[in-house]
Structure 1
Amino acid sequence: MTDSEGSEKAAEIVAERWQEFLGFGEDVIDPAMVRAAYAQPRLRVLFPGVSHGILYLSRCTGYPASHDVPLVYPLLAGGFQVTGRAGEGVLGKVATLEEAFALVVAHLPEGSGPAVLGTKDGLRP
């Protein structure tokens, strides 16, 4: 498979996964969270996943995932907290999901682009 074919296949996998996630009900994840992330062009090219009701995004389509994209958590008192992956700590607390995912975009790993086919081991540093 050429790099171009791999990129096309990865884009198909990501698009299909997003369509699946956009159809999820509240029993899986807050649909507003999925829609807010999808509204960000730089995030909609990443591979979505969900764990414990939290959306995570990976720079690759396989497992293990990249685990280097910040996460958004709802706060009990209202608003959202954005945390970095790999020990970066709290990146900020904001009032809306739109602000939260804008903060995620601002803290994407350097060189982030569309998700690649494969696992985190195949990512370029």
Structure 2
Amino acid sequence: MQAGGQAAPEVVALKWRSVRALSAEMIDHDMVEAVYAQPRMRQFFPLVSHGSLQFSRCTEFPWTNDIPALFPSAGGGFVVIRMWEPNGSERQQVGWVKTLEEAAALIVAEIPAGWGPAVHGTADDVY
């Protein structure tokens, strides 16, 4: 599927470039770069909300939100939170870690085999 002549991998790459260029007021660049350093994560559509880094398996709203998101922790460190589960439960903490490298690895470890790359379309095209 394509949007404006772009295949989903191109749309995802463009969004990553955009997120990586955001101001420090919007997102901690170290968080973005730690996740971007994980090759598997580069295939998902990144989203930024209130200082958190979230991911979608599709390129258009409504997004999927079943990949754990990364939040800075007020007391230091980082929290990985699953925003939604297919069974309908919401906001489940996956773990708290001290470093961004641990956080990125934890997110990758929580993604089921066979997920990705992001598809062009909405969550309805994924589920």
Q: TM-score, normalised by structure 2?
A: 0.86
Gaps of 5+ in 2: 85-89
Equivalent residue runs for 1:1-125 within 5 Å: 9-86=7-84, 87=90, 89-123=92-126, 125=127
2:87 aligns to what?
none
Q: How many residues align?
A: 120
Q: Please provide the CA RMSD for this pair.
A: 1.7
Would the alpha carbon gap of residues 88 and 108 (structure 1) be closer, same or farther in structure 2, given more than 3 Å must change? farther
Give the superposition deviation at 1:53.
Answer: 1.4
- CA shift, 1:91, in A, is 1.1
Distance 1:122 1:55 in 2: 22
Q: Distance in 1 between matches of 2:111 and 2:19?
A: 21
Amino acid in structure 2 at the alignment position of 1:37: V
Farther off after superposition, 76-85 or 36-45? 76-85
Choose between structure 1 and 2: higher strand proportion.
2
Q: Which moved more, 1:50-59 or 1:86-95?
A: 86-95
The 3-state SS of whatever aligns with 1:44 is helix
The 3-state SS of whatever aligns with 2:117 is: coil
- Does structure 2 conserve the Cα–Cα contact (< 8 Å) formed by 1:69 and 1:109? no
Unaligned runs of 5+ in 1: none
Q: Give the SS at the match of 2:107.
A: helix
Distance 2:112 2:50 in 1: 23
- Runs (4+) of structure 1 exceeding 4 A deviation are none
Contact 2:56/2:65, CA 8 A, preserved across alignment:
yes
User: C-alpha separation between the residues in 2 aligned to 1:27 and 1:89?
Assistant: 26
